[in-house]
Structure 1
């Protein structure tokens, strides 16, 4: 029965306060976000150290790309498999195993004595990351119910993910100059040592109530397909697409992924539910994520070349440009969940993709002799849009998915993230380095990058509107 005021009119009940994070859930969020930040840091902290690392370990210029590829291959190739294994046998259990492996591998990389030991450590780091990322995301989405709490948690996670990549670029240069390249790997081992003791007590165990058999044919085809595709694209970034190994693995990757789709359509307990992929939110949400990750990583790559090789900026000054980008990402991480609460994740995703595209197009104003200020402003604002797209695509692609299938949904989300970070530079970035004119190559990449973003914004908008 409604309460009456002194005038006899019904009193308006105050709006319920939004749910708040408790002390324990804050600690859970800290553990999960710290692990995600650590993996994001690993993507970039070593980049500026590669020349010094190569001279120290005896890796020639052609072999240096394997310091990155050795991590990217297992981290992208095993994501879907590990996401499903976590669903079936325990997400917390696999998360802890991945965290332990990542920490041990980082320690091995810190004290690597030759190229073989270092590249082995990088591959083991990638394997640990493949377990951490999908299980961490599943634990986050099952711990925080759909609504304001999940929006806030994913906003914090997305901010730290983007910030980790940017901080790694700045921190890697500073640490390499002052402490040596080994300190970058030691930092990752230290992160693991801080997070690992907290995780067993704080994280809840989570898995599907039923125990179907693991889809082995699907696991084999998708893992080998992703490994082949990532290898081909990563190798092409260094040597172009003309090599026999690149062409063979590229074709093999496409064929294996096609076979994977066929296997999944007939499997009793598929690794990826094709009906789930037919959900517009899952399909178009992940498309948006793939485009925003791949196009932003490409812009960062070509701007690094432009600022240092065309304008002659130092590595430290270039790091400051991307440091501003990191600050803007943090601001965007606090604003995006509020905007999503007002207008919805799908509208934010479309608007963010379009904004990132327009700001990338603004970079075409960069000159041969000046452009550092424009680069700083445009890439920082584009990064805000990028962060909004990251949070919105994660929410869009996991919304409405039941808890027992969150591992599948978040496995797709994190696979999109890892593949996006891997494919952008080989597909577009290589255009900036293969021609004789770096400035002209950078402009070509920016035109294509902006066009892809704007096209994806239109496609995602139409696809989600049909829902």
Structure 2
């Protein structure tokens, strides 16, 4: 690749790294935030949930907006909004200020992430060049999730507000570089305008789904209301499908969902992130609340998972070129399942050396899985639907993370909390990883993947199309 191409790639990688590290750093800093602002458990949970609501609720709209209004334009606009509201979160003195800041930051990420992924796929031609670019991009994203735990521990030791201020500095650098380097490829945009009725319906449905998932964390808190939220969400989804079938300019072309490979990829992404988010929450409670470790010690304990930052952009693209997406992805999810299995006998007297093999396997799983998921989610998709494909992928990832957090919280509470509760909760990541591996295995014999129907671009003959 040319020097300019590397510059564009590094800028876009910086943005997705920013999004991942922002989420991970906040999770580590939550105990410090609660202590300083005197937040209740409900408000503290809401700080995490607000981001999920904004991200999950607006992701599909964000992906389609990128296709219709321009990938570069939407990327720069929402990166700026991300920067501003992350900074405002750092100045918060009340719980409601954090809730607003995190919600808007989540909305900004929902528009920014699919636009960034679409810029990657549109700036690098399909084949080895795109595989390499997506490998580096996905590796950086995975590194944000894992290294964010370490960075959050370090920054929180100086004060939790730095968890908000540090992303502002990084976002400002990325924004300036993006304005100078990133260009739209000039491809045709979809004809027609916004499907406003579809946009309002799907956004309301996704917001309700995200809210319902968040409510699952507290199974005793109004189960009838929780059920009502899900019923309303599914009714709105039904209305959305009816609207899209009649629309001349649909927000989501329903044909793109008829592809079994595309459905498999997004289901695998949801389960993979469900497992990791659940594990991350359990590990944080185990290290800090049961073992009494500091945020810095917790972050350093997770450092080995950051091995994916090195392996994902270097090793994974080579493996994909040789074996194809499906086999590499299957190996990555199996690594995760074995890692979670090794953690099941968790005890209070475990040495770090006893935990290390499992943590190493989780780092390997991220290195082998995140890139192939990203590559497969956009493989064979027409240029004017790359934003939509990215929106589907990141919707699956975000809802997976929300479901993982809710599931382990509910299982731990049902098991009585404490060490026994955490042991029981670790079954959730294991079950999700096993199911994800089975879903990927069901597509191992596919010789090609053609996401979407009809696919307006001819599918590539590259091995990456085997998911």
Aligned twin of 2:411: 431
Larger radius of gyration: 1
The answer for the alignment partner of 1:17 in structure 2 is none
Between 1 and 2, higher relative CO (CA 8 Å, sep ≥ 6) is seen in 2
Residue in 1 aligned with 2:18? 38
**Is the aligned partner of 1:352 residue 2:345?**
no
* 1:250 pairs with 2:227: no
C-alpha separation between the residues in 2 aligned to 1:312 and 1:357?
Answer: 27
Deviates more, 1:284-293 or 1:243-252: 243-252
Q: Aligned pair 1:87/2:70, yes or no?
A: no
Unaligned runs of 5+ in 1: 1-20
Is 2:167 aligned against 1:188?
yes
For 1:241 and 1:265, the matched residues in 2 are separated by: 37
Instruction: Give the root-mean-square deviation of aligned CA atoms.
Output: 2.2
Conserved in 1, the CA contact under 8 Å of 2:154 and 2:299?
Answer: no
How far residue 312 of structure 1 moved from its aligned partner, in angstroms, is: 4.4
Q: Which residue of 2 aligns with 1:22?
A: 2
Q: Quote the offset at 1:464 in angstroms.
A: 5.5
State whether residues 281 and 399 of structure 1, in contact with CA within 8 Å, keep that contact through their aligned partners in structure 2: no
SS at structure 2 position matched to 1:122: helix
Aligned residues: 446
Displacement of 1:259 in angstroms is 3.1
Relative to structure 2, which stretch is displaced further, 101-110 or 425-434?
Answer: 425-434
Q: TM-score scaled to structure 1, two decimals?
A: 0.89
Q: Deviations over 1:282-307 (max 9, x none)?
A: 11111111111111111121122233
> Does the 8 A contact of 1:281 with 1:464 survive in 2?
no
CA positional deviation for 1:388 = 1.5
Task: Tell me the SS of whatever aligns to 1:369.
Answer: coil
How far did residue 39 of structure 1 move? 1.0
| TM-score (normalised: structure 2) | 0.89
- Output the CA distance in 1 between the equivalents of 2:100 and 2:288: 31
Superposition deviation, residue 68 in structure 1 = 1.2
Residue 418 of structure 1 corresponds to 398
Structure 1 counterpart of 2:84: 104
Aligned to 1:135: 115
Q: d(CA) in 1 for partners of 2:241 and 2:443?
A: 21
Tell me the equivalent position of 2:271.
Answer: 291
**Equivalent residues in 2 for 1:140-179, closer than 5 Å:** 140-178=120-158
The equivalences for 1:195-210 within 5 A come to 195-206=174-185, 208-210=188-190
The Cα offsets for residues 315-343 of structure 1, whole Å up to 9 and x where unpaired, read as 33322221111134432442111111100
Alpha-carbon contact 2:25-2:149 (below 8 Å) kept: yes
CA displacement at 1:217 relative to structure 2? 2.6
Q: SS of the counterpart of 1:146? A: coil
Paired position in structure 2 for 1:60: 40
1:240–1:430 CA contact under 8 A, matched in 2: no
Deviations 1:21-46 (A, max 9, x none): 21101110111111111111111212
Query: Is the contact made by 1:88 and 1:208 (CA closer than 8 Å) also made in structure 2?
Result: no
Instruction: State the 1:252 CA deviation.
Output: 2.1
CA distance in 2, matches of 1:255, 1:210: 28
Partner of 2:247: 267
Distance (Å, rounded) in 2 between the aligned partners of 1:456 and 1:427: 16
- Of 433, 440, 463, which aligns to 2:420? 440
Change (3 A) 1:367 1:49: closer
Aligned residue for 1:4? none
Report the CA distance between 1:244 and its aligned residue: 4.5
1:374: Cα distance to partner?
Answer: 3.0
Q: 1:53 to 1:445 in 2, by over 3 A?
A: closer
Structure 1 position 133, deviation (Å): 0.4
